[in-house]
Amino acid sequence: MSEIVIKTAGLYKIYNENTIPVYALRDVSVEIEKGAFVAVVGPSGSGKTTLLNIVGGLDQPTRGSVTVDDRELAGMSENELINFRRDHIGFVFQAFNLIPVLTARENAEFVMLLQGIPDPERTERVDSLLEAVGIADKAENKPSELSGGQQQRVAVARALAPKPAFILADEPTANLDTKSAYNLLDMMEKLNKEEHITFVFSTHDPRVMERARRIITLEDGAVVSDVVK
């Protein structure tokens, strides 16, 4: 039986609830299995990023429940959510969000430093990850010395470093040229197939959609189709 790492039930996100309600999400119920390679797609304003933010504990639903890695997010304190995100969820954003004064190596190991992981273990894991994402030779370079594609690879290494239950990737190819986008997707697909790392993307990018093995389509905040290839 497949292991479910993400489960939402009756998820709503409503803004301006006391005036004219704006529904960002409407009754979204999905289950995502370990090892999935899923794209959440839909037009701008359909709720893709809102769904990822709620699943990632960055935002709270108006109604409904979210279970991540067997933990219900509702009711967690802010500190509990911070620690849960740090230890269970990897994030990759289109803006990279690297720390400019740190090297690629230091950015990749940053979360492990927060976790208190000893130096030898950090070094071994970061070396392995930078090798896996194809930028071991750029370990001592700062973000300003890296291309967009290289920065996004560092971001993926950072997301993988704490061994999360899954990776949430919000438009990860949006700022990349075609070659860099394909190289990044090749690398993510390889990690998914060989290490069974779960990836959930929000995307407009047909290059991501063609690789995904499941496509969840949102329109006006509701799931209108859920297709497994």
- Beta partners for residue 91, in sequence order: 168
> What residue has token string 């704490």?
162
Query: Is the predicted pLDDT of residue 1 greater than 80, yes or no?
Result: no
Looking up residue 160, the CATH number of its domain turns out to be 3.40.50.300
Q: What is the span of the domain harbouring residue 76?
A: 4-228
Q: Is the pLDDT of residue 133 over 90?
A: no
Q: What is the pLDDT of residues 15-53, one digit of tens each?
A: 986 788 899 999 999 999 999 999 999 998 899 999 999
Per-residue model confidence (pLDDT) at position 97 = 87
Cα dihedral 83→45→158→129 (10° resolution): 130
pLDDT at 177: 83
Model confidence at 221, in pLDDT bands (50, 70, 90)? Answer: very high
The dihedrals phi and psi of 59, each to the nearest 5 degrees, come to: -145, 160
- Predicted pLDDT of residue 17: 63
Cβ atoms within 10 A of the Cβ of 65, count? 14
- pLDDT digits 0-9 by tens, 174-202: 878 888 888 889 988 988 998 888 999 99
Tell me the mean pLDDT in the region 81-97: 88
Single out the residue of 67, 110, 73 nearest to residue 90, CA to CA: 110
- Number of domains into which the chain is organized: 1
